[in-house]
Structure 1
Amino acid sequence: METVTRYAEAEYAPGSVGDVFRLIREGVATSRPALARRTGLAPSTVSLRVDALTGMGLVVERGSEDSIGGRRARRLSVSADSGVVATADVGANHARIALSDMTGQLLVVEESPLDTASGPIASVEWLWEHFQTALDSVDKKTGDLRGIAIGLPAPIEHPSSKVILPSFMPSWHNADLPRLFRSHTELPILIENDANLVALAENAVPDNGRPSHLLAVKLGTRIGCGIISAGRLHRGAAGAAGEISHISVPGTATLSCSCPEENCLESVASGGALVARLRNAGYSVAGTADVVELGRAGDPAAVEALREAGAHIGSVLSSIVNFFSPHVVVLGGAMSASAPLVAALRAELFRKCLPLIANDLSVRTSINTADAGVKGATHLILEELLAPARIEHLVRSVESQGNGPAGAGK
Structure 2
Amino acid sequence: MATLQHFRELDPLPGSVGDVFRLIRSDIATTRSALARKTGLSPSTVGLRVEALQRLGLIAEDGEHRSEGGRRARLLRIVADNGHVVAIESGVRYLQVLVADLEGNVLGEARHDGVLELAPREAISAMWERIGELREQIGGASVPLRGVVVSVPAPVDYATGRIATPSYMPKWHGASIVELFSTFTDAPVLVENDANLIALSELPARGHSRENLLAVLLGTRIGSGIIANGQLLRGENGAAGELSHTPVNAEPTIACVCGLESCLESAASGAAVASRLKVLGHDVRSMTDIAILGRGGDPEVLAVLRDAGTLIGSVLASSVNFINPRSIVLGGIMSTSAPLVAAIRAELFQKCLPIASEGLEVRAIEAPETAASRGAFRLLLDEVLAPARVDHLARQADAAAQIA
1:289-334 per-residue CA deviation (whole Å, 9 max, x = no partner) reads: 1111111222333222222111111111111111111111111111
How far residue 136 of structure 1 moved from its aligned partner, in angstroms, is 1.7
How far residue 5 of structure 1 moved from its aligned partner, in angstroms, is 5.2
Q: Does 1:124 align with 2:124?
A: yes
1:89-118 per-residue CA deviation (whole Å, 9 max, x = no partner) reads: 111111221111001111123322214222
Q: Which residue of 1 aligns with 2:376?
A: 377
CA 219–210 in structure 1, closer or farther in 2 if over 3 Å, else same: farther
CA 75–398 in structure 1, closer or farther in 2 if over 3 Å, else same: same
- Residue 215 of structure 1: SS of its match in structure 2? strand
How far residue 159 of structure 1 moved from its aligned partner, in angstroms, is 0.6
Q: Which residue of 2 aligns with 1:361?
A: 360
Q: Which residue of 2 aligns with 1:157?
A: 157
- Residue 217 of structure 2: SS of its match in structure 1? strand
How far residue 3 of structure 1 moved from its aligned partner, in angstroms, is 7.9
Q: Provide the rounded CA distance (Å) in 2 between the counterparts of 1:313 and 1:65.
A: 53
How far residue 150 of structure 1 moved from its aligned partner, in angstroms, is 0.6
Identity of aligned residues (%): 46
One-letter code aligned to 1:359: E
Q: TM-score, normalised by structure 2?
A: 0.95
Q: Provide the rounded CA distance (Å) in 1 between the counterparts of 2:206 and 2:115.
A: 35
Q: Which residue of 1 aligns with 2:68?
A: 68
Q: Which residue of 2 aligns with 1:233?
A: 232
Contact 2:267/2:308, CA 8 A, preserved across alignment: yes
Bigger CA drift: 68-77 or 152-161?
A: 68-77
Contact 1:329/1:363, CA 8 A, preserved across alignment: yes
Which runs of 5 or more structure 1 residues have no equivalent in the other structure? Answer: 405-410
1:334-385 per-residue CA deviation (whole Å, 9 max, x = no partner) reads: 1111111111111111122222222221111111211111111111111111
Bigger CA drift: 130-139 or 209-218?
A: 209-218
Q: Which structure 2 residues correspond to residues 294-373 of structure 1 after superposition, within 5 A?
A: 294-373=293-372
CA 360–39 in structure 1, closer or farther in 2 if over 3 Å, else same: same
- Residue 98 of structure 2: SS of its match in structure 1? strand
CA 142–165 in structure 1, closer or farther in 2 if over 3 Å, else same: farther
How far residue 204 of structure 1 moved from its aligned partner, in angstroms, is 3.2
Q: Provide the rounded CA distance (Å) in 2 between the counterparts of 1:36 and 1:189.
A: 35
Q: How many residues align?
A: 402
Which runs of 5 or more structure 2 residues have no equivalent in the other structure? Answer: none
Q: Which structure 2 residues correspond to residues 211-250 of structure 1 after superposition, within 5 A?
A: 212-250=211-249
One-letter code aligned to 1:253: P
Q: TM-score, normalised by structure 1?
A: 0.93
Q: Which residue of 2 aligns with 1:54?
A: 54
Q: Provide the rounded CA distance (Å) in 2 between the counterparts of 1:397 and 1:3.
A: 15
Q: Which structure 2 residues correspond to residues 7-86 of structure 1 after superposition, within 5 A?
A: 7-86=7-86
Contact 1:96/1:374, CA 8 A, preserved across alignment: no
How far residue 4 of structure 1 moved from its aligned partner, in angstroms, is 7.3
Q: Which structure 2 residues correspond to residues 136-151 of structure 1 after superposition, within 5 A?
A: 136-141=136-141, 143-151=143-151
Q: CA RMSD in A?
A: 2.0
Q: Provide the rounded CA distance (Å) in 2 between the counterparts of 1:138 and 1:274.
A: 40
